Structure 1
Amino acid sequence: MTDQVLILGGSGRIGSKVAADLLAHTQAKVTIAGRNLAKGEHKSESLGDRVQFLTVDLADEKTLQEAISAANVVVHCAGPFHYRDAHVLKLCIENRVNYVDVSDHPSFTRKVLEYGDQAQAAGVTAIINTGIFPGISNSMVRQGVEQLDDAETIHLSYVVSGSGGAGVTVMRTTFLGLQRPFEAWINGEWRSVKPYSDREVVEFPEPYGKIGVYWFDMPEAFTLPDTFPVKTVITKFATVPRFYNYLTWSVARWWPPSWLRNSAVIEFLSYVSHFMTDVSDRFSGIGVAIRSEVIGTKNGQPTRCCSTLTLTDTAIAAGAGTGTVVELLLSGQLKKPGVWAIEQALMTDLFEQVMQSRGIEIQHRIEKEG
């Protein structure tokens, strides 16, 4: 029988890129689901004969359960995840259907991780935080950790050009991330950090070069120290053109917290930002760069392992990151009942295999220190 993949939020920017990746690398039939019939049917037609659109509202229990029960794998792309609960995963567990999501908000990640025992008992493999960051970035960290005898510090930095080819949902995620301080694992203890603080200049591959990056609350800030016995995990983010960073920093620094917790303010900021990036994307592009640095020891000597990745379309990259996980689930190469962050479930050899199949090249550099 032909595999069936259900993508919730499938007519959005990220969901449709996941669908495109699956069409290119698997034989599965894909159902993209959403609330907007006209948009969904147009998107399904543009993707081809193996794609159909299904009108699904996540609040409609009956329709959602019927759609999930007909699939081999469900891919949750219906963000922003700040507003979501674990209901989709719960239904997948009840129907014994494997689950993948592109979640990028820590509160959602914590909610779904609570279902690990239920998923394991049902034989359901649930892989969360897939995509580009978190996602491919987490697997790059795992690559680095495995190069060392002992890892002590993980430093992840991201830079995105303009909108990254994504929609207004990503803008919402950015501003939702400014609402309150978050906990970061620093020198073996959890410390409170202000979002978009502590600017640090790091060097990315061309065309980015040296970019100032800022603390940002991401799921990998707590899944990575849970996965690897390290003392420090740093997650920092920036955008280009660089003036967007100064605008975001100003909002985080000067706007009253009550404003940032107001949904109307978040919507205003999101749509204004999206309008601005529609203009600047023509000049900046919509690419992404990741820099993963793992510091520790090898053969008793201090060693630094640095990995970098640059791609020209952030949304396509996110689609590939998630598509690879679905491909491995469908083929049976990835099977680990429970709920897992991507770096906990995806072995490095499989990660390198699927990256190579998509022409995604990761640069590595290992340096002895001292």
Structure 2
Amino acid sequence: MVMTAPLIAIYGATGHTGRLVAAELIDRGQEIVLAGRDGVALGAMARALGCRAVTAPLDDQEAIRGLAESADVLIHCAGPFSVTGDPVASAAAEAGCHYIDHAVEPHHVKRLFDTHQATAQRTGAIMIPSLSFYGGLGDLLAGAVTEGMTDVGRVTVAYAVTGWRMTTGALDTARQLFAETVRIGFSDGAQQVGYVEPRNAVFPFPPPVGPRSMIAPVPFPEAVTVPRHVPAREVEAMLTARTFEEEPVFTSEDADVETRARTEFTVAVQALGEHGDRAGHLSGQDLWRAAALASVTGALRLTGGEAPAKSGVLSPGEAFPAAPFLATLERLGALTVTL
């Protein structure tokens, strides 16, 4: 019997993250199809990489459904996901196509759990939102730090980022997130949806970063994803205030690849428990590459016999054993992990 190689579709392939994902998969000898809204740009990229391209605008559900039906895994890289997420995710769920996205928007992540769980379980699709830098790495690190803990009072996920240069999609997403007045949180052992007053906080990052002023909470997906696999009563994400104080961060849409790669990051988790506290952190350079490698690693696990036993919508740390997943990213040079 001739076995066909798994096909991985990349939606939003011509964006910065999509290009990194495509290049990584090509380097690993994977069969890919590029997809998105700009047929001209997709065609040029496909010719350069020697692969196929499919033009699938968001309002063409037939094209998006055809893409999902043809693929084994669909990696969605085109934000803002509040706009692009549901059409692509719906097609994947209905087609039984495994789905991974790079979303940072918690409302989109919550919507996937609320609206696509039953369909994905019925069709056998495994859907993993936010398998990316913001949200995904925090969720995985929280799982690794709290492994074996049975009662966790509070999980804090703190991001220290310098030199971040946003793409157009990231800039649109950031503006939207910080303008939202209805936030998703997790406290008293339950998901909370409502107005949250942001505050200034200080988080004690390990050396050489040290204590930093933080925006708390930030509207990242951890409040939705972490409680699915960590027995926590409260979950909160924070981001260094300095990240948005750097002047170029909001004027860097045209930054080149080398400039974007100069980001430096540390992600730290504190878990406070009745029987002792735990902490861990990861750090590295180029959050865009770390994000791309996270989604590629997840996709290859889904096609390579390491998929979770259950289908449906799963958080990253619910889908994969967290510490081994982070160890794989460390071996790939995306980051270093300290647990």
TM-score range, shorter chain: 0.7 to 0.9
Equivalent residue, structure 2, for 1:7: 10
Equivalent residue, structure 2, for 1:250: none
Tell me the distance in 2 between the aligned counterparts of 1:81 and 1:326.
Answer: 19
Q: Supply the AA of the counterpart residue of 2:302.
A: L
Tell me the distance in 2 between the aligned counterparts of 1:147 and 1:132.
Answer: 24
Native 8 Å contact 1:307 1:362 kept in 2: no
Comparing 67-76 with 26-35, greater Cα deviation is found at: 26-35
Deviation at 1:328, TM superposition (A): 0.1
Is 1:288 aligned with 2:262?
A: no
The alignment partner of 2:333 has SS state of: coil
Q: Supply the AA of the counterpart residue of 1:325.
A: G
TM-score relative to the length of structure 1: 0.79
Tell me the distance in 2 between the aligned counterparts of 1:22 and 1:205.
Answer: 34
Could you say if the C-alpha distance between residues 326 and 272 of structure 1 is closer, same or farther in structure 2, counting changes exceeding 3 Å? closer
Q: Supply the AA of the counterpart residue of 1:339.
A: V
Tell me the distance in 2 between the aligned counterparts of 1:116 and 1:276.
Answer: 35
Equivalent residue, structure 1, for 2:287: 314
Cα root mean square deviation, aligned: 2.9
Could you say if the C-alpha distance between residues 231 and 84 of structure 1 is closer, same or farther in structure 2, counting changes exceeding 3 Å? same
Within 5 A, what are the aligned runs for 1:325-336? 325-335=298-308, 336=310
Could you say if the C-alpha distance between residues 234 and 45 of structure 1 is closer, same or farther in structure 2, counting changes exceeding 3 Å? same
Report Cα offsets for 1:62-121 as digits up to 9, x if no partner.
222222222111111221012245232222233222111112112211221121121111
Structure 1 runs (4+) greater than 6 angstroms displaced: none
Native 8 Å contact 1:2 1:27 kept in 2: no
Tell me the distance in 2 between the aligned counterparts of 1:117 and 1:96.
Answer: 12
Tell me the distance in 1 between the aligned counterparts of 2:44 and 2:142.
Answer: 38
Tell me the distance in 1 between the aligned counterparts of 2:91 and 2:141.
Answer: 31
Aligned residues: 330
Equivalent residue, structure 1, for 2:158: 157
Report Cα offsets for 1:292-347 as digits up to 9, x if no partner.
111214xxx422x2221122111111101111100100102113311111121111
Native 8 Å contact 1:168 1:274 kept in 2: no
Native 8 Å contact 1:98 1:124 kept in 2: yes
Tell me the distance in 1 between the aligned counterparts of 2:67 and 2:118.
Answer: 24
Is 1:342 aligned with 2:292?
A: no
Tell me the distance in 2 between the aligned counterparts of 1:352 and 1:223.
Answer: 17
Q: Flag structure 2 segments of 5+ consecutive residues without an equivalent.
A: none
Could you say if the C-alpha distance between residues 121 and 302 of structure 1 is closer, same or farther in structure 2, counting changes exceeding 3 Å? same
Could you say if the C-alpha distance between residues 274 and 345 of structure 1 is closer, same or farther in structure 2, counting changes exceeding 3 Å? same
TM-score relative to the length of structure 2: 0.86
Is 1:213 aligned with 2:214?
A: yes
Deviation at 1:210, TM superposition (A): 3.4
Native 8 Å contact 1:205 1:310 kept in 2: no
Same amino acid, percent of matched pairs:
20
Equivalent residue, structure 2, for 1:266: none
Native 8 Å contact 2:283 2:337 kept in 1: no
Q: Supply the AA of the counterpart residue of 2:272.
A: I
Comparing 108-117 with 353-362, greater Cα deviation is found at: 353-362
Tell me the distance in 1 between the aligned counterparts of 2:101 and 2:83.
Answer: 14
Deviation at 1:136, TM superposition (A): 2.1
Q: Flag structure 1 segments of 5+ consecutive residues without an equivalent.
A: 248-270, 366-370
Equivalent residue, structure 1, for 2:64: 64
Tell me the distance in 1 between the aligned counterparts of 2:317 and 2:259.
Answer: 34
Within 5 A, what are the aligned runs for 1:107-126? 107-113=107-113, 114-126=115-127
Tell me the distance in 2 between the aligned counterparts of 1:276 and 1:36.
Answer: 18
